[in-house]
């Protein structure tokens, strides 16, 4: 267990996507530091699992169902959390994901793909799929910030942390809408940092490199647990030659949330990527 951070003890955090691998670990780490954590997930049972783990480790947490695709669901989550806490000090916008209808099956397009029904090309991406992924990763973060930030206005030194991606500065192949949305998250982070500066609300983002999660496991590992071709490309382009572990994010999280450590830091996206972004490939 990490040593308790006195600069965070007693604060209240809202973590969307808190039932997932990465944001679940962020929620648990905040709990270890004495933060009261509202764990939000579309499936409440996933949030409950994380909240129970926080409580078992001696922390305080509640689980709340929240679908960031629906403004009404976010507002209802806010009302539920307000039954327990009168405001928020930390907001982590971690809800996100992808959808097959917003991604191509091949990295490069060739005209002959149009004759192959098994190949999903750029021309096959659906309006519904594109909207779903962009809404989930970008609009959902904006709407969540609108709702929960109202509970931050009377707090001392509140912080918003968005979850970006390696796909923001340099779009990954295949995942068109996801890459566009994460680029939007970086821009939103900068915009919000400026917009809220006079109220002393800091806004930053964390850009994880490549981590194994429940969402990407089938893309990165085959049925025997070995690296896929895409995994090997990632590892070859990561100087530290491994995937990230969820706990690799917690140091950056604690730095960005603690006013004493990063009180003059706002509007930045911090890569936690094993050197991926720094490596040119040669």
Q: Which tokens sit at 125?
A: 């991406």
Helix and strand numbers, DSSP H then E, in the chain: 10, 7
The H or E element that residue 232 is part of is helix 229-236
Select from 107, 106, 102 the least CA-distant residue to 127. Answer: 102
The H or E element that residue 31 is part of is helix 21-32
Collapsed DSSP state (helix, strand, coil) of residue 174: coil
Contact indicator for 210, 202 with CB cutoff of 8 Å:
no
Q: Distance of CA 46 to CAs 12, 208, 223, 251, Å?
A: 20, 21, 25, 24
The catalytic site residues sit at 178
Nearest-Å Rg of the Cα atoms of the chain is 19
Place of tokens 């982070």: 189
Q: How far apart are CA 83 and CA 40, in angstroms?
A: 15
> Where would I find the beta strands (DSSP E) of the chain?
12-16, 36-41, 60-65, 90-93, 159-163, 202-208, 269-272
Number of Cα atoms under 13 Å in the Cβ half of residue 35 = 32
């Amino acid at each position: 267990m990490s040593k308790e951070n006195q600069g965070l003890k007693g604060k209240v955090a809202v973590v969307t996507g808190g039932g997932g691998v990465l944001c679940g670990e962020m929620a648990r780490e905040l709990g270890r530091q004495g933060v009261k954590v509202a764990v939000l997930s579309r499936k409440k049972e996933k949030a409950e699992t994380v909240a129970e783990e926080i409580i078992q480790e001696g922390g305080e947490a509640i689980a709340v169902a929240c679908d960031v695709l629906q403004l009404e669901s976010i507002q209802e989550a806010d009302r539920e959390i307000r039954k327990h806490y009168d405001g928020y000090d930390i907001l982590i916008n971690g809800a996100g994901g992808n959808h097959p209808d917003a991604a191509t099956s091949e990295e490069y397009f060739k005209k002959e793909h149009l004759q192959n029904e098994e190949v999903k090309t750029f021309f096959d991406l659906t309006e519904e799929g594109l909207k779903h992924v962009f809404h989930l990763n970008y609009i959902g973060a904006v709407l969540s910030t609108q709702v929960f930030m109202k509970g931050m206005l009377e707090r001392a030194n509140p912080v918003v942390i968005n979850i970006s991606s390696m796909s923001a500065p340099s779009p990954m192949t295949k995942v068109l809408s996801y890459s566009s949305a994460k680029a939007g998250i970086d821009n939103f982070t900068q915009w919000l940092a400026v917009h809220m500066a006079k109220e002393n609300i800091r806004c930053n983002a964390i850009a994880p490199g490549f981590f194994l999660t429940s969402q990407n496991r089938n893309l990165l590992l085959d049925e025997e647990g070995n690296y896929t071709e895409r995994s090997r490309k990632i590892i070859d382009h990561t100087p530290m030659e491994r995937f990230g572990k969820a706990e690799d994010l917690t140091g950056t999280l604690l730095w960005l949330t603690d006013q004493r450590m990063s009180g003059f830091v706002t509007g930045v996206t911090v890569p936690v990527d094993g050197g991926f972004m720094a490596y040119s490939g040669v």
